[in-house]
Structure 1
Amino acid sequence: MLDQLLLVRGIGLLMVTLSISLVSYLLIFRLKRPAKAMVPEGAPVAVSAVAGSRSMEWLSPARKYLLPADEKEQISVSRRLLQAGFDQEQASLVYHALKALLALVFGVLLLLLHPWLPGDLPEYPELVAMIGAAFGLFLPSKLLDSFRQRRQQQLIAGMPQLLDMLLICLSAGLSLPRALERVQSELRLAHPLMAGEVAGVSAELNAGVTPDAALHRFAERAGLQEVRGLVGTLIEAHRYGANLSDTLRDYTQDFRAIRLHRADLQAAKVSTRLVFPMVTCIWPGFFVVVVGPAILRMLEAFAG
């Protein structure tokens, strides 16, 4: 009986290992853009999306069972995936499939391991399985938010260089498509993610897409207020025939002022954030070093 029980637990652990490996493979190698081995450098975003999603067509029959019925929720999830860098056609379907898979795996795992859980949990196997399933549903959402936040931080880091180089190119008399091509080649080493986004916009413009549509797609992929402001500035200047370099210079000054203001806010919060580590880590050691010898001498004096 014990051998059979251990066999069942071993099969459960094997299922978890295989599932986690599958999740890592799908997230990192199949859905993440760009697919360098399949798409040439500088290719339009639509090309990389099609090339990266062909291997996920086997999930299409399960679409009606996996995708949520609410259309607004589908749009919200698709936007989060796009801003996290998963812009393939089947990304939303794969995301919900992973949630269902992890819910099943963690629910079965905790159900198999519930006799060894502490407290009164071994007496409620159904509750343990539900907790595991809830954790499996919650984990992909947290991972997606982490990917999205990290990608947006990388884009924010490349914004100052993008604005400066774009302003220089436009002031030198280059058109917007030629300026974007020059900027993406200069940013490729320092900020490859921003360079890839700019290259996508440039490729769409060269393919005949209107500047408004190409820039709006860039803002939607970034999901940042700073990028939306830049896109809105460029679109308005292009639509009304204003001087792009002068308009961009004004926006750059405003962007730097906002960036400096945010840095001042972060610096003002440092003293408050340091209270807890000082009270729990620094001050006890300080009192031990400074007051400890005096207390020992007082004890020796009273004892003598």
Structure 2
Amino acid sequence: MSHDSIETLINLLMLSALFAGLALLWATKRGGRRGRIADRARQVALTQRAAIVQIEEVDGPGGWRTRLVQRLARIGDRLPLFDTKYRLKLRKEMARSGYRSSLAVSALLAVKFVVGLVCAALAVMLGSGIPMIGQYPAVRGAMMLMAFIVGMIIPEYIVAFRASRRRKKMAGCLPDALDLLVICTNAGNSLGVSIRRVADELKTICPPLSEEFSLTADELKLSGDSTRALQALAERIDLPSIRALISTLVQSMRYGTPITQALRTLSRTERLAHIVMLEEKAAKLAPKMVVPMMLFILPAVVVISAGPAILQLMDVLSKQ
């Protein structure tokens, strides 16, 4: 048997061991009383999800995306590798990233699992090409496990990065939103109507903040529980400024103080904090530019200024 055949056989055996370990973990999670309870809960969720999927199916240009998300969600629903607490954490993170669909968490879990398997397979197949250490099967097995874990983590970090960018964008538009809210409350509108009007005005300026305000306005209109709807807004956006806004609105409604004055004070404070943040970024710009200037600009300036003198000196020395 040739050396390449042996390497291929070892790679297949390691991949088979990975799948066997996942199958054993799957069986362990599904076994026992807790596993049976979790399995029944998943079956109920799948039944409810099937009805929701039939409602959410959309034909047209985006149909293939909808079908892909649905298939990924079916895979994620059947994965017993993630407990309920972890799924709730992911649901909160997905909501902060702007994904509020009922299929979002299950699709993310399926993507995590598939990316982990792909990374593990690539590590096994390409690991033999690493000099000195790639020839040892134990090393490639450890690389396979590490690649599987890293592949499982990467999609979650991408979602967290998207949530961070979304929060920064909303934080930049929050002072303008507060000013609009002050104008609407000064005009005599109620809180729900004011939030709805501000959401309509922010559609082109800051779509994420407009979506969150629209959802809050719908919750205020349907539920009537202002405190719960505002706290849900603070939980979805997860910004200190939004939490301060919600605390101000809740206290104003509880104690009967004027909302307009509190919003005006909060708007002034947030705008001042935004200006201070911009000034801080501008002050940090000069030290950050030192290293790029030394690496990319200073050598070019030295070559341009000292180049002719060096060439003349080389000509003089060559003639002598």
TM-score by length of 1: 0.75
Identical aligned residues as a percent: 24
Number of residue equivalences: 261
5+ residue gaps, structure 1, are 13-34, 40-52
Kindly state the Cα deviation for residue 175 of structure 1 after the two structures are TM-superposed: 1.0
Q: 1:157 to 1:38 in 2, by over 3 A?
A: farther
Give the counterpart of 1:103 among 116, 119, 127.
116
**Structure with bigger RCO (C-alpha 8 Å, 6+ apart):** 1
> Does 1:293 find its partner at 2:308?
yes
Q: Counterpart of 1:101 in structure 2: which amino acid?
A: V
Partner of 2:141: 126
- Bigger Rg, which one: 2
The CA RMSD over aligned residues, in Å, is: 3.1
Contact persistence 2:96–2:238 (CA under 8 A): yes
Partner of 2:78: 62
Contact persistence 2:72–2:111 (CA under 8 A): no
5+ residue gaps, structure 2, are 16-52, 58-68
Query: Aligned partners of 1:196 and 1:83: how far apart in 2?
Result: 12
Q: 1:288 to 1:253 in 2, by over 3 A?
A: same
Matches within 5 A, 1:15-34: none
Partner of 1:211: 226
Query: Aligned partners of 2:279 and 2:110: how far apart in 1?
Result: 44
Partner of 1:223: 238
Q: 1:179 to 1:134 in 2, by over 3 A?
A: same
Q: Counterpart of 1:150 in structure 2: which amino acid?
A: R
Q: Counterpart of 1:299 in structure 2: which amino acid?
A: M
Matches within 5 A, 1:1-304: 38=56, 58-59=74-75, 62=78, 65-68=80-83, 71=85, 73-124=86-137, 125-303=140-318, 304=320
Q: Counterpart of 1:83 in structure 2: which amino acid?
A: R
Partner of 1:44: none
**Local SS of the residue matching 1:105:** helix
Q: 1:301 to 1:62 in 2, by over 3 A?
A: same
Q: 1:57 to 1:282 in 2, by over 3 A?
A: closer
Q: Counterpart of 2:271 in structure 1: which amino acid?
A: R
Deviations 1:124-159 (A, max 9, x none): 331331232122122112211222122212322331
**Local SS of the residue matching 2:179:** helix
TM-score by length of 2: 0.72
Kindly state the Cα deviation for residue 276 of structure 1 after the two structures are TM-superposed: 0.9
Q: 1:130 to 1:208 in 2, by over 3 A?
A: closer
Contact persistence 1:66–1:97 (CA under 8 A): no
Contact persistence 1:237–1:243 (CA under 8 A): yes
